[in-house]
Amino acid sequence: MVRRVPLFSRLVLIGAALVAGCTKSPEARTEEAAMRLTSWEATARLLEEQRARGAVPEQFVRQVLRAAAEAREEATAKRRAAGAP
Amino acid sequence: MNLTRDILDQQVVDRRGQRLGKVDGVILELREGAPPRIAAIEIGPVAVARRMHPRLAAWLQRWLHGHGPRSDGTLRIPWSQVKAIGVDVRVDLIADGTPARAWEEWLRDHVVRRLPGAE
Amino acid sequence: MKKYLQVTLGIFTSIGGFLEVGAIATTAQAGAQFGFRLAWVLLLGTICVIFLVEMSGRLSAVSKHTLQDAMRERFGAGFFLLSTIPGMVVDWLVLASEIGGVALALQLVTGVGYQWWAFPVAIAAWLLMWKGNLGLVENGTALLGLVALAFVVAAVRLHPPLHDLAAGLVPSLPRSDGAGYWFLAVSILGALISPYLFFFYSSGAIEDQWDENHIGSNRFTAIVGMSFGAVLAFGVLTAAAMVFYPRGIQVDRYEQVALMLTEALGRPGLYLFAGALGITCFGAALEVALGRAYVLAQGFGWNYTLNSPPANSARFSLVYTGMIGSAAVLMALGIDPLTLTVFSMALTAVTLPLVTLPFILLMNDRAYMGEYRNGWIGNVAVVGISLLASLIALVAIPLQLLGG
Amino acid sequence: MSQAREVRGELLLGRKVLGPGGRVDARIEEIVLEPQGDDYVVREYLSGPEGFLEELMDFAGGTPLIRHIPFLGRRIRRRPIRWDWLDLSDPERPHLKHPSTDASR
């Protein structure tokens, strides 16, 4: 019974340390934003290929392009917020 | 028979098989010079809350009395009406109209029946 | 023979509980980011689910108690509330994700934003529970859910290298982005081993009045039903690994996931993807909402049944009504469905031990299980699963911060 | 039956039992009942695994592999306390009437 409280607080401390150690550095965030940008560029290329083949309806193409534009905007903003030069 | 294993928290059903609730409390009667005997079982959210914390129970009781059917939903069933203890605890009464069903019936009449296609 | 037809409960449980928004999202992400390398997690998760589903069915058939009933009766009101309250919060988020999945499927087909579909979807699901019965819910979803086989067809048409797929079934350490790898592994397990699946399945067994004679068919149902779900999930992983991985596409939005089916199947691919996403998520939404209503009704001993009008079980009906209504609000506000899905799957992983640990005691309880208690295989499995679940629960949140 | 005193059985569970000198002697974990005419009466109180985690530890302690590990392998000992050895006049603080409970059986 007596042992339980210190064990619990120890777990909390370990958890807090993990959380503190796990938050991302600005460099990691910039890198991630860059990766997302490349990913969306590749998505747009794939979409173009499929559109040329007539494999996707126009209405869907517009949706994906809109999503891509949103994601690109978001990633650029994130890169700026992370303090990229 | 054991109190925790066989009675407490078991399902209570009435004479017609309606589900009344769980055995949320067991009332023991202390006697002079004789072993304590089970006087009644109790069903209701307040009894559950009391097992967590007395203050939670007091707050819940006040809240339940102030809303809806204005009942805290507590039903005390004398041991003499307990007919069988097995997978379910069978009691010799009809669930309808008892406090254990007060909220069920109030919600049925005031909410569910006002929605389309509830019958 | 008729008992074996009850495999529809298994297929439905599987379509709604196994392959749903979470499994589609996490396995598509896994395939896109790591190719076939996370296939072993899918296999591991499937084995865990088969064992736990079989046990929840056996528990109900033998003891005539549902899982949540037994948890309350065996471990008391305190433990019941302790495990129910966090579970309810997590399930509410999962439910919102599932509604989001259906809404997104409708957006893909119509072009009308998913926020606008949240309430129509919620109302349709609610009407089915309110007016329908369990048989309709089970059989309808199981039948329509066959459209999800499109994932498998797509996977086959993409001619995956089988030796890569087989190699992925062997656990391996990530070459890079360890946090992302393990976060996805944990999310996949969280998405596959969903507590509501066991609650729902064990309640279904009681509503269908199973007894000791159903033990064989229960085992059959668990294995066949869950394997069916697993095959579909492997289809998603494979298609993503073939279409997205080589191109360096990471999955951030559902719109992207549709591209893997249009790549393999052309124009019909979009409609098949929308159909599969929509129906599996719709089934899951029903399962989550009903699962929670069952948990509360059984934990507190209320009347509950889907097989008679809602007026006969007012509190039960109002729980699923309230859950689905409020979850729809969350989606209508325009929260990104994929972000919410991945988040709620990780949270599910945190609450897993609260469900898996009780299995150890319940499945060995002489009073409940008699001669049908777990053998040593079952016990090794359930203890192993519980250790795994505890580990997952500990690492899920740190991993989410690091890799999510 | 003029002065019947009531005690809530569910609240006795998990409560500490005070031994001589106010020392905690046990925790009530189960109440064993036996039929007597139309009634069920308390035969004895048991101390034992108190909650879910304790029960899990108890299960683990009984498995062949863990049984040999010194600390983990300890199973929780259930000890009966006869009904008339427990003074419930203050249900918040049940205490033993006898100096030694080990002779209770």
Model ipTM? Answer: 0.81
> Is B27 inside a domain boundary?
yes
How confident is the model at residue D27, as a pLDDT?
A: 78
CB of C378 within 8 Å of a chain D CB? The answer is: no
pLDDT tens digit string along B43-81?
999 999 999 899 999 999 999 999 999 999 999 999 999
The larger pLDDT score, comparing residue D2 to residue C52, is at: C52
Alpha helices in C311-375 (DSSP H): 314-332, 337-362, 366-369
The CATH architecture of the domain made up of D9-96 is Roll (2.30)
Task: Name the C residues in 106-135 with CB < 8 Å from any A CB.
Answer: 107-108, 111
Is C316:C356 a contact under the CB 8 Å cutoff? Answer: no
C-alpha to C-alpha distance for B94 and D100, rounded to whole angstroms? 48
Domain locations in chain A?
Answer: 25-85
In chain D, residues with a C-beta closer than 8 Å to the C-beta of B51 are 10-11
Residue C227 pLDDT > 70? yes
In chain D, residues with a C-beta closer than 8 Å to the C-beta of B50 are 8, 11
How confident is the model at residue C264, as a pLDDT?
A: 93
Residue B24 pLDDT > 60? yes
Question: Given C72, C131, C304, which is nearest B22 (Cβ)?
Answer: C72
The CATH number covering residue B36 comes to 2.30.30.240
How confident is the model at residue A76, as a pLDDT?
A: 84
pLDDT tens digit string along A7-38?
556 656 666 665 555 556 677 778 878 888 89
C-alpha to C-alpha distance for A16 and A10, rounded to whole angstroms? 10
Residue B23 pLDDT > 70? yes
Binary contact (B112, C314; C-beta < 8 A): yes
Binary contact (C263, A50; C-beta < 8 A): yes
How confident is the model at residue A3, as a pLDDT?
A: 37
Which of the residue ranges C71-80, C97-106, C144-153, D6-15 has the most confident prediction, judged by mean pLDDT? Answer: C97-106
Average pLDDT rounded to a whole number, residues B8-28: 92
DSSP category for residue B80:
G
The larger pLDDT score, comparing residue C361 to residue A29, is at: C361
Burial class of residue B80 (count of CB atoms within 10 Å of its CB; 0-12, 13-18, 19+) = exposed
Give the strand pairing for B75-78 and D24-27.
unpaired
Give the strand pairing for B25-31 and D5-8.
antiparallel
Cα C391 to chain centroid, rounded: 20
Average pLDDT rounded to a whole number, residues C238-246: 96
The pLDDT-based confidence of B90 (bands split at 50, 70, 90) is very high
How confident is the model at residue A81, as a pLDDT?
A: 76
CB of D30 within 8 Å of a chain B CB? The answer is: yes
C-alpha to C-alpha distance for C33 and C244, rounded to whole angstroms? 8
Average pLDDT rounded to a whole number, residues B33-43: 94
DSSP of C142-208: HHHGGGGHHHHHHHHHT---HHHHHHHTS----SS-HHHHHHHHHHHHHHHS-HHHHHHHHHHHHHT
How confident is the model at residue A11, as a pLDDT?
A: 58
How confident is the model at residue C60, as a pLDDT?
A: 94
* CATH number among 2.30.30.100, 1.20.1740.10, 2.40.50.180, 3.40.1010.20, domain C2-169+178-403: 1.20.1740.10
Q: Give the amino acid at B34.
A: A
In chain B, residues with a C-beta closer than 8 Å to the C-beta of C317 are 112, 118
The larger pLDDT score, comparing residue C330 to residue C400, is at: C330
Q: What interhelical angle do C337-362 and C178-192 show, nearest 10? A: 60
Binary contact (D6, B34; C-beta < 8 A): no
> Is B119 inside a domain boundary?
no
CB of D97 within 8 Å of a chain B CB? The answer is: no
Binary contact (C75, D56; C-beta < 8 A): no
Give the strand pairing for B88-91 and B11-13.
parallel
Question: Given D6, D30, D32, which is nearest B28 (Cβ)?
Answer: D6
Shortest Cα distance, chain B CAs vs residue D17, angstroms? 17
User: Global pTM?
Assistant: 0.88
Average pLDDT rounded to a whole number, residues C272-288: 92
How confident is the model at residue C250, as a pLDDT?
A: 92
Reference A75, options A35, A33, A38; nearest CA is A33
> Is B96 inside a domain boundary?
yes
In chain B, residues with a C-beta closer than 8 Å to the C-beta of D10 are 8, 24-26, 47, 51
Chains in touch with C (≥3 Cβ pairs < 8 A): A, B, D
What Cα–Cα distance (Å) separates residue C271 from each residue in A2, A55, C26, C236? 61, 12, 21, 16
- As given in the structure block, the two tokens for residue C203 are 């309640």
The larger pLDDT score, comparing residue C135 to residue C263, is at: C263
Task: Name the C residues in 77-106 with CB < 8 Å from any B CB.
Answer: 77-78, 81
How many other C-beta atoms can be found within 10 angstroms of the C-beta atom of residue C324? 27
In chain D, residues with a C-beta closer than 8 Å to the C-beta of C357 are 52, 56
Number of domains composing chain B: 1
Is C267:C109 a contact under the CB 8 Å cutoff? Answer: no
Average pLDDT rounded to a whole number, residues C83-107: 94
Residue C194 pLDDT > 90? no
The pLDDT-based confidence of C78 (bands split at 50, 70, 90) is confident
Binary contact (B51, D10; C-beta < 8 A): yes
Binary contact (C361, D59; C-beta < 8 A): yes
CA dihedral C70, C71, C73, C75 (to 10 degrees): 140
Residue C387 pLDDT > 80? yes
How confident is the model at residue C398, as a pLDDT?
A: 81
Chains in touch with A (≥3 Cβ pairs < 8 A): C
Binary contact (B35, D4; C-beta < 8 A): no
How confident is the model at residue D4, as a pLDDT?
A: 61
Binary contact (A67, C255; C-beta < 8 A): yes
Residue C146 pLDDT > 70? yes
C-alpha to C-alpha distance for C6 and C201, rounded to whole angstroms? 12
Task: Name the D residues in 45-64 with CB < 8 Å from any B CB.
Answer: none
Q: Which of C19-28, C199-208, C379-388, D70-79 has the lowest mean pLDDT?
A: D70-79
Q: With pLDDT > 70 as the criterion, what percentage of chain C qualifies?
A: 96
How confident is the model at residue D35, as a pLDDT?
A: 93
Binary contact (C302, B104; C-beta < 8 A): yes
How confident is the model at residue D2, as a pLDDT?
A: 40
In chain B, residues with a C-beta closer than 8 Å to the C-beta of D30 are 2-5
Residue D101 pLDDT > 50? no
Segments forming the whole domain that contains residue B62: 3-114
CB of C365 within 8 Å of a chain D CB? The answer is: no
Residue C234 pLDDT > 60? yes
Which residues, 6 or more positions from D59, have their beta carbon under 8 angstroms from its beta carbon? C360, C361, C364
How confident is the model at residue D22, as a pLDDT?
A: 72
In chain D, residues with a C-beta closer than 8 Å to the C-beta of B5 are 30
Reference C93, options C159, C172, C175, C21; nearest CA is C21
Shortest Cα distance, chain C CAs vs residue B83, angstroms? 18
C-alpha torsion sign, points C315, C317, C323, C327: negative
Mean pLDDT, chain C, rounded, equals 90
- As given in the structure block, the two tokens for residue C333 are 């506000």
- As given in the structure block, the two tokens for residue D44 are 């004895």
Q: Which of C97-101, C358-362, D73-77, D79-83 has the lowest mean pLDDT?
A: D73-77
Chains in touch with B (≥3 Cβ pairs < 8 A): C, D
Residue D103 pLDDT > 60? no
Question: Given B51, B87, B113, which is nearest C78 (Cβ)?
Answer: B51
In chain D, residues with a C-beta closer than 8 Å to the C-beta of B47 are 10
Nearest CA in chain B to D3: B31
Q: With pLDDT > 90 as the criterion, what percentage of chain C qualifies?
A: 59
Binary contact (C79, D51; C-beta < 8 A): yes
Reference C121, options C6, C321, C282; nearest CA is C282
Average pLDDT rounded to a whole number, residues C308-331: 94
| Number of helical (H) and strand (E) elements in chain C, helices listed first | 17, 0
pLDDT tens digit string along D9-51?
999 988 888 877 777 767 788 899 999 988 999 999 987 666 6
The pLDDT-based confidence of A5 (bands split at 50, 70, 90) is very low
Chains A, B in contact, 3 or more Cβ pairs below 8 Å: no
Which residue in the block uniquely carries the two structure tokens 């064992």? C51
Question: Given D4, D11, D30, which is nearest B29 (Cβ)?
Answer: D4
How confident is the model at residue B108, as a pLDDT?
A: 94
